[in-house]
Amino acid sequence: MTELIRNATVVNEGRTFVASVLIEDEVIKHVFEGEDNVPLQLKEDIRIDTVTEGEGFFLIPGVIDEHVHFREPGLTHKATIASESRKAVAGGVTSFMDMPNCIPQTTSIALLEQKYDIAAQCSPANYSFYLGATADNLSELEALDASTNCGIKVFMGSSTGGMLLDDNRILEDIFSHARVPIALHCEDQRIIAENARYYQSLYGEDPDVRFHPLIRSEEACYRSSAQAVELAEKTGADIHILHVSTQRELTLFHPGDVAEKHITAEACIAHLMYTDADYAKLGTAIKCNPAIKTEEDRNALRQAVRDRIIDTIATDHAPHTPADKQGGALRAASGIAVLPHSLSLMLRLVSEEVFALTDVVRTMCHNPATRYRIAQRGFIREGYKADLVLLSKDKEGHLSDISRVWVNGAVAFSDGMLHNDIHGQRLLFDR
């Protein structure tokens, strides 16, 4: 099957230009720059089964969300791989990487492969899964196939059971032996525990949610992130610090091309959208770990995206039931289910001139692919998988709507409807 997307405005690799894109089976066969620039001979030689008129629309690569919690197995009353992958595609996310803190925790290759088996049966999006690090599963981490798995997740804060790692000796051992990127949740649990006791002494067992960023404080984030960076510099480990939330942490990172870095940083949608002033209106709906901090922190994160200090933008998508979100700073569950709206929210920031559309494409499409060395995805290039998103403008001329989504060359979402016969693929990695 072949499809021609005709005369779309393509946003790719820092450029914006009119082009027609020919999809053949699963891949991008040709990119013809210029209006109506498909060679006549090609039209005669190749049977084009479908033409999608792209004039007036913007075409970008599919979003790659490197940081989601789809809750399966064990927490399927909150969400499933099937339910959340469907939401992903409807929101323009064509590939995801899921975290290991489910039940049982994904801390062995056998359990990891069980999750791949589930996704192969039900996910319309492309998929990969992290292997969780513990104090005693180094042999599993060493055996992980670098070409078929995205990476290792290390919780240096905010986890339960054996995946909470704050022993420097164990961390150094993991950093020294890992052959894949290490994704890190960095918060110092000792500082958090001390802060919690202090605010409980003043306000009772469950202080109001507005104290959440004071309990899970800037110091807790910085201390843990600094420890991770120090260990990475010592060992040469390939680390990616997730959901950076403070201006102070940004001093640990450097601007530049993500391909040239082995210490990189992610920002999440919530920390780019909200500030601690929003707790008064939104309460525990925006409670997440690390906590949403000050307006100064949010603005510094936005600037760091523009300056290429922040390398990727993801969601930390973490669904909960309404009952889970009841309570205050300590009892209400942390996590925001933002995945279906992540691209739309970033487009809103484009309309507000916070970011350029090229910033969004760089941090949500190109850089995740480059950072994790995902094979043949994340760019609109000939020979790459046809994971694409067509965007339309509203009456005010702002990009706002996801019109059509292709996954591996097949239309997975169009006219507000998800196509049920689409199956994503396991992500592969050039390592």
Q: What is the pLDDT of residues 334-358, one digit of tens each?
A: 999 999 999 999 999 999 999 999 9
Same domain, 240 and 115: yes
The CATH code of the domain that includes 110 is 3.20.20.140
Name the percent of the chain lying above pLDDT 90: 90
Same domain, 270 and 302: yes
To the nearest whole number, what is the mean pLDDT of the chain? 95
How many Å apart are CA 285 and CA 287, to the nearest integer?
Answer: 6
71: in domain? yes
426: in domain? no
Same domain, 338 and 382: no
Same domain, 129 and 251: yes
182 near 238, Cβ under 8 Å?
yes
Q: What is the pLDDT of residues 240-267, one digit of tens each?
A: 999 999 999 999 999 999 999 999 999 9
Q: Which residues contact 221 (CB under 8 A, 6 or more apart)?
A: 186, 187, 188, 244, 245, 246, 248, 249, 290
- Per-residue pLDDT, averaged over 151-172, amounts to 82
313 near 269, Cβ under 8 Å?
yes
430: in domain? no
Number of domains in the chain: 2
pLDDT computed for residue 166 by the predictor: 76
How many Å apart are CA 186 and CA 160, to the nearest integer?
Answer: 14
Same domain, 175 and 287: yes
Helix boundaries (H) for 72-152: 81-90, 109-122, 138-143
> What DSSP assignment string belongs to 330-358?
TTSPP-B--GGGHHHHHHHHHHTTSS-HH
Domain that includes residue 212, residue range? 62-372
pLDDT computed for residue 241 by the predictor: 98
Same domain, 230 and 90: yes
How many Å apart are CA 123 and CA 125, to the nearest integer?
Answer: 5
206: in domain? yes
